[in-house]
Structure 1
Amino acid sequence: MSLTSRLRAVFRIKATHVVDRLEDPREALDDSYDEQVKMLQQVRQGLAAVATGKKRIELQGQEMGNRYQRLTEQAQEALSQGREDLARTALERRSLLERQVATVREQHAALLLQQTQLQENERRLAERVANFRVEKETIKATYTASEAQVRANEAAAGLGSYMSDVGANLNRAKDRVAQMQARAAATDELLASGALEDLTASPDADLERQLSAGAAQAEVERQLRALKNSGASSDSSGADRPGGGPDAWLSIGQGPR
């Protein structure tokens, strides 16, 4: 993989990660959950307000009931004292109070119905929010696990690409070494044959090399004749094989004694 391809792959992965963060479903689920919690809080606040209003009307009704009882007692007391005028006034006020109580009773019934509906709505919404929370956490856990697996796979893929590059570099290095070894062997042969001039050698090195080669060939011919004449006897042993001592190797190639 070339440097440009690797950079392009890195930029593509980074761009994908940025988009993934912007479109992270976990954040969307958390936002939806927060909105539902806010709605539940609003329903509960409304329920508390209705319950407070109903309680206020109940207290007002209790006061009106106490007054109604007092007016009844006052009318009876006025009649016992022979004051029909006061009794009539008490009964008139009690009649007016009855109409007020009827209005308050209607308001109380309406608030009671509203409170009952809000309590049912609050119960259903609370259940839905609780269920959504469980499902949300399950989805988030699944997404997190999948994301971790994707990152692990991406890391493994990146390592595989890197190891492929390492293997390619190793093969190229082996090819270069083989080429250099072949070149070294070729130059040795050229130097040995005299086809390639050694600029670092002495001026008459070519003559010395040829004379050495001729002397070596003459020595081989001499040893071959000796082997033929002696049947590979003592002369061959002395020339080609060391003796039994630890320094016998020093006599190799020294010829017959």
Structure 2
Amino acid sequence: MSLTSRLRTIFRIKATRAVDRLEDPREALDDSYDQQVKMLQQVRHGLAAVATGKKRIELQGQEMGARYQRLTIQAQEALGQGREDLARTALERRSLLERQVATVRDQHAALLQQQAQLQENERRLAERIATFRTEKETIKATYTASEAQVRANEAAAGLGSYMSDVGANLNRAKDRVAQMQARAAATDELLASGALNDITAPPDADLERQLAAGAASAEVERQLQSMKTAGAQGGSRAADDHGNGPDAWLSIGQGPTTR
């Protein structure tokens, strides 16, 4: 496999994983529900338009019916007055009106059938949307609960990117602490041995430190010898008596208390 093919395969795999992370099924379900609701609104708008058109035809038919009755009365009155010419004109107009009424009646029947079909479609679509909404909310709740369980399990097992970062940070912090402890111990040894000089210390501070250490050691030896001598004599106290009062600590290191 060439380098270009391998790069293309890797890019496709990465892109697929990125899309899977970005695609939320809950959002997809909500989008499908919104599309169905919009479709239902369009059906209802069409139903309202058909109902409006049917109502206009009904009003027009009522006007034609009223004119038809009026022409009939006019023809009868013309015959009563001996005006056959007027009666014939009224009947001719009524005949033309009958053909117009037949056309309007056919349009009204078509609109009634269309309205009935739209009402049935609206009912079925509304029921389907209600069912889909119930299923959608159930699936969303199940997905949310499963997602929360996965995150909790990953956190408990130390999985996931966040917990991995936490573990890496903890390990780095432990390494830094160990490095600092080792460095502190090394510098303490160097300072104690005199290999590393304290630049903030006064001149000849190393000599004073060594002399102080020697004096402390000599004092300890002196006190030890004094205790041995006191133990050999038997009547002397094995330790300095500094008293037991609240201010006894003031005499520590000042030698035995004079009585």
TM-score bracket, normalised by the shorter chain, equals: 0.5 to 0.7
Instruction: Give secondary structure in 2 for the equivalent of 1:244.
Output: coil
Contact 2:43–2:122 under 8 Å retained in 1: no
**Deviation of 1:38 (Å):** 2.8
The CA RMSD measured in Å over matched residues stands at 4.9
Check if 1:109 corresponds to 2:122. Answer: no
**Deviation of 1:44 (Å):** 1.6
Counterpart in the other structure of 1:4: none
Contact 1:54–1:112 under 8 Å retained in 2: yes
**Deviation of 1:56 (Å):** 1.1
Contact 1:51–1:115 under 8 Å retained in 2: no
Instruction: Give secondary structure in 2 for the equivalent of 1:243.
Output: coil
Counterpart Cα distance in 2 of 1:204 and 1:63: 135
Counterpart in the other structure of 2:239: 237
Cα distance change, pair 201–146 in 1 and its aligned pair in 2 (3 A):
farther
Cα distance change, pair 113–27 in 1 and its aligned pair in 2 (3 A):
same
Contact 1:40–1:125 under 8 Å retained in 2: no
What are the equivalent positions in structure 2 for 1:160-179 lying under 5 Å apart? 164=167, 167-168=170-171, 170-179=173-182
- Specify the structure having the higher radius of gyration (Cα): 1
Counterpart in the other structure of 2:52: 48
**Deviation of 1:47 (Å):** 2.5
Listed one character per residue, the Cα deviations across residues 58-102 of structure 1 (whole Å, up to 9, x for unaligned) are 322331232134324433553xxxxxxx548845863x4565355
1:183 pairs, out of 155, 178, 186, with 186
**Deviation of 1:110 (Å):** 1.6
Instruction: Give secondary structure in 1 for the equivalent of 2:239.
Output: helix
Percent identity of paired positions between Structure 1 and Structure 2: 10
1:65 pairs, out of 69, 76, 84, with 69
Could you list the runs of 5+ residues in structure 2 that have no partner in the other structure?
Answer: 1-16
Counterpart Cα distance in 2 of 1:234 and 1:27: 100
Instruction: Give secondary structure in 2 for the equivalent of 1:236.
Output: coil
Instruction: Give secondary structure in 2 for the equivalent of 1:234.
Output: coil
More deviation, 43-52/102-111:
102-111
Check if 1:222 corresponds to 2:225. Answer: yes
What are the equivalent positions in structure 2 for 1:137-216 lying under 5 Å apart? 139=136, 164=167, 167-168=170-171, 170-187=173-190, 190-191=193-194, 196=195, 200-201=203-204, 208=211, 211-212=214-215, 215-216=218-219
Listed one character per residue, the Cα deviations across residues 90-139 of structure 1 (whole Å, up to 9, x for unaligned) are 45863x45653552343243233223223323433443565466567764
Instruction: Give secondary structure in 2 for the equivalent of 1:64.
Output: helix
Cα distance change, pair 146–204 in 1 and its aligned pair in 2 (3 A):
closer
Contact 1:57–1:108 under 8 Å retained in 2: yes
Count of residue correspondences: 225
Could you list the runs of 5+ residues in structure 1 that have no partner in the other structure?
Answer: 1-11, 79-85
Listed one character per residue, the Cα deviations across residues 164-207 of structure 1 (whole Å, up to 9, x for unaligned) are 4664455345424532443355336535xxxx475753585587
Cα distance change, pair 89–212 in 1 and its aligned pair in 2 (3 A):
closer
Q: What is the identity, as a one-letter code, of the residue corresponding to 2:42?
A: K
Counterpart Cα distance in 2 of 1:147 and 1:214: 73
**Deviation of 1:36 (Å):** 2.9
Cα distance change, pair 30–203 in 1 and its aligned pair in 2 (3 A):
closer
Counterpart Cα distance in 1 of 2:196 and 2:52: 109
Counterpart Cα distance in 2 of 1:40 and 1:203: 99
Instruction: Give secondary structure in 2 for the equivalent of 1:237.
Output: coil
